[in-house]
Amino acid sequence: MGLQVLDLCTGLGAFTVAGRAVGGFESICGSEIDNFCCKHMEQNLELENSGDVRYLATNETANTTQKYMDEDKVPAEWESFSQFTMADFMEGVVPWPNMICAGSPCQNITSVNINGNALGIDGEKSKVIYDVMNVVESLEPEYVLLENGPLLTNKGLDVLLKKFELLEYQVEWSVVSCACFGFPHYRHRLFVFAARKDSPIAKTHKSIFKLVSEDACYLPGEVVPTFNMYTEDQIDALYLETPRSIKGRSLRVNALGNSIVYPVAKSHMRAVKTLHYLECNSDNIRDFEDGVEIKAGAKIPDEGYMINGKIFKRSRDFRLNPKKTEFENMSSTLLRKDGNNNFNPSRLERPGKSGGVNTDLMRAFGFNGGGFHPEWAEAYMGYPQKFTEVNQ
């Protein structure tokens, strides 16, 4: 049996799909309330959905489906969710998780949101991370892998680190871009990995980010082409004269705009698997002796780790976290609302990159109407063709 995983704030299920591809992971269930993503989980992932993360691993009185159980009904037959209580885990109704993954909402953290992003993890959307941490506290898995915007380092990471320290985890984190995974956009994201102090990975004294860096061995365009590399056939394939001709296009694109670039998720899962099964010996190079301790109250660095409550800064790994000016011919990343936008000529009046990937495509290929195909967006984020296609 592989490592048992709870995939919280599931979205399109990048961690679940990556775990299946790497092997050695089994997702117990997801936790999602977005209607489109719920359909995707059911139809494409065949992953059970526990619904709102607030009610996962709580007592029976807090469970919103308890009324069905009181009547000897199966909740999943009456609701689209199967909310698992703490008793379900304690009694073995569902497996106890070895690992919790979560790509929690970043709307109040990202710089793209100019209204309310200063609230950080206390914002209306991003406060879901507190619910994720409640599940972590209840179940205390060996490992926790979190993903969010890079500004989390000064918009709430300090709070999470204090919680992890109370729960006796050692933690490391790094900003990771998809550029050196061969993609034509940067999409800097913060990944946080926590290992319980008695876990196999904690005993190795090894960093998962050293392994992730080994996978970041491509130049932009080597996996997904930069726009200046497109052939006429590729240009024709990405263009939709009538975006509404594909049912659910905007929902598919918006879900992709919220997602993790798939090869990046896969690299992290591969690293966890490798270190979990690594044989410990005294000759191991200790990856947690290369940092510089920072003073209490100082700004949390983009790359670092915490051991026994002390925070250390690591040197920047430019393969994982390149500067935004490092490469030429780079385009905007895909965002949550890009599915709502088409190739409207007025977007060309916006300065710089403020028009997003739609404007980049218009400038590159001369589009003045229509929109891009959702299958192009899937490839742009590293997913297989038709990955997000669902029956509405």
CA distance 376 to 373: 5
Query: Six-digit token pair at 213?
Result: 């860096």
Report the DSSP pairing between strands 25-31 and 304-307: unpaired
Distances (CA, A) of 292 to 145, 199, 262: 23, 24, 32
Distances (CA, A) of 230 to 36, 184, 233: 31, 12, 8
Neighbours of 204 (CB within 10 A): 21
Contact 254, 381 (CB under 8 A): no
The residues that bridge with 98 in the sheet, in sequence order, are none
Burial class (CB in 10 A: 0-12, 13-18, 19+), 363: middle
CA distance 20 to 372: 29
Coil, strand, or helix at residue 352?
coil
CA distance 278 to 313: 25
Query: Six-digit token pair at 312?
Result: 């250390």
**Nearest 5 degrees, angle CA 378-CA 383-CA 384?**
95
Per DSSP, 46 falls in state: -
Contact 338, 378 (CB under 8 A): no
Burial class (CB in 10 A: 0-12, 13-18, 19+), 86: middle
What is the DSSP secondary-structure string of 68-114? HHHTT--HHHHSS--PPPHHHHHTTSSPPPSEEEEE---TTTSTT-T
From the list 29, 106, 178, 180, the catalytic residue is: 106
Reply yes or no on whether 29 is catalytic.
no
Active site residues: 106
